Amino acid sequence: MAAFVTGIAPTRDVETLEKTLDGISGIDRSKFIVLTSADRDDDHDDSFINFVHAGGDDNMITGDPGTRVPGIGIASESLGYLSHPHFIQRVGNLPIPEDEADNYNDAIDEGRAVVAYPADGNGAAIEAAFRSAGLAHVKTF
């Protein structure tokens, strides 16, 4: 399974997330995956961010912001479902150990968002960029 850099954004607001993530230089913004408890709306659909709406009817992690068709998109090979119900509702199949997943699940439940980005061999640089952008609990899994 591919490694991902993850971090917690202080908000789930689409406009704020776009400003925060678009400000990170040297990263392909089409590869961002953001897990949120927000209901899906046009702002999410129109964003460059690949949103996953954890816990709702639209909680399949596909990586395809346009069609939302399972199995199609850049992240579909790496993300999916685990059997643990809280994982299904929140962090999907991101390679986050169960003891760490609770931090991310709690953040989503509290109205923050989890940002994930494929490490592609440069996890340390992406971690530093995430921290500079104001994301918390930044780690590579």
Q: Where are the domains of the chain?
A: 4-140
pLDDT of 71 higher than 80:
no
pLDDT of 26 higher than 70:
yes
Dihedrals phi, psi of 6, to nearest 5 degrees: -125, 155
Q: How does pLDDT run across 81-133, given as a tens digit for each residue? A: 333 344 334 566 677 888 888 888 899 999 999 999 999 888 999 999 999 99
For the four alpha carbons of 81, 83, 89 and 90, in that order, the dihedral sign comes to negative
Assessment of whether the complete model's pTM goes beyond 0.85:
no
pLDDT of 74 higher than 50:
no
53-60 contacts, C-beta under 8 A, 24 or more apart: 54/89, 54/90, 54/91, 54/92, 54/108, 55/89, 55/90, 55/108, 59/88, 59/89, 59/92
Average pLDDT over residues 26-38: 92
pLDDT of 45 higher than 70:
yes
C-alpha closest to that of 58 among 29, 37, 43, 30: 37
pLDDT at 68 (0 to 100):
43
